[in-house]
Structure 1
């Protein structure tokens, strides 16, 4: 991760590898609680039980719940950017680089490329809904909690700026008008699709509708 995308933890730093493993286990346990019970379920005793560590371990690394919640979402953002988001952008970016010369070549070719690109994006959404649903739920909790806790906003800003900047770069490669605005609108559409998809079982995800929404956005951006 580049320095501009770096995010910092607030809790006590671990000086040894074993200590860092315990600290990370506590944060991973807290994140599981966020997914299952919401942020309000994150309490020292509950996290200690979930992590299978003594209560004194959670209070050692995190003097208060606010630090624990902040570092939990920091871990989420750090892992999401490297393990979930970057592979998606890399795959989509490679597809665009391979076919960017064909965009606007003629309406039929452009339409087929936008269809394929939409299917790739929606395919990743489907994969997340089935295999990384916890990540998507944690992201929704993150969005909500940063409205309540001002200390989370810098983490949220770094995370969402990362999502947006990568999307804007993809829009530039495609050659859309006003890529900064296009990126914002496309990200908003993706968030809307994901939010609705999480409210129903994964097998009820409407891929056809999602593809149409993404394709419509992309098509509207082209000169």
Structure 2
């Protein structure tokens, strides 16, 4: 007679195919709570509710954990941005929509934004993380140029990232009219 696992108990070993993904998500949670310097195999194991050996089995080094966290964060961010863009009307005021998006990232999604930038900046000191951050940049450029043109898309991607970081750190934070004016200038050019 087969025994049943108690409800709510996580499966172990080969019967736990989602373990690697849980560890990756837990790495993001740890960075959100403790920053990059707080990322340890032990902290991730606790957050993922797995044995310590599982984190080191799937991700031998802390850079391995950082890399998977950056990929996960980038994929989530790009997916959310694509969903946002698909929800915009074809004739939407793109400058106003971008300003609203930035304000959402620095208010409602502030912790999420901080984690993404912590991981993104980590790539400056860890070359093996650079392909993941470059893929993130490329996705932003592609998204923004789909509403403008290739050069403006690249300009908007840089402006978007820079404004997010500046606005998240600024005291007081800029308001949406300031942000919108910058996006409008980038999209429309200087007034004649």
Q: Which structure 2 residue ranges, 5 or more long, are not aligned? A: 1-12
Distance 1:75 1:148 in 2: 19
1:147 is the counterpart of 2:124: yes
What's the secondary structure of 1:26's corresponding residue? Answer: helix
Q: Could you tell me whether the CA contact under 8 Å between 1:129 and 1:198 is conserved in 2? A: yes
What count of residue pairs does the alignment treat as equivalent?
180
* Match of residue 103 from structure 1: none
- Measured against aligned partners, the alpha-carbon deviations of 1:64-95 in whole angstroms (never above 9, x if no partner) come to 2221111111111122222x211122234xx3
1:54 is the counterpart of 2:70: no
Closer/same/farther in 2, CA of residues 126 and 199 from structure 1, 3 Å limit: same
Which structure has greater helix proportion?
Answer: 1
Specify which of 27, 32, 51 is matched with residue 24 of structure 2. 27
Distance 2:143 2:137 in 1: 10
TM-score normalised by the chain length of structure 2: 0.81
Distance 1:91 1:38 in 2: 32
Q: Could you tell me whether the CA contact under 8 Å between 1:31 and 1:72 is conserved in 2? A: yes
Q: Could you tell me whether the CA contact under 8 Å between 2:69 and 2:119 is conserved in 1? A: no
Specify which of 125, 130, 152 is matched with residue 182 of structure 1. 152
Q: Shift of residue 154 of structure 1?
A: 1.4
Specify which of 114, 136, 145 is matched with residue 159 of structure 1. 136
Specify which of 128, 141, 146 is matched with residue 105 of structure 2. 128
Specify which of 187, 203, 213 is matched with residue 182 of structure 2. 213
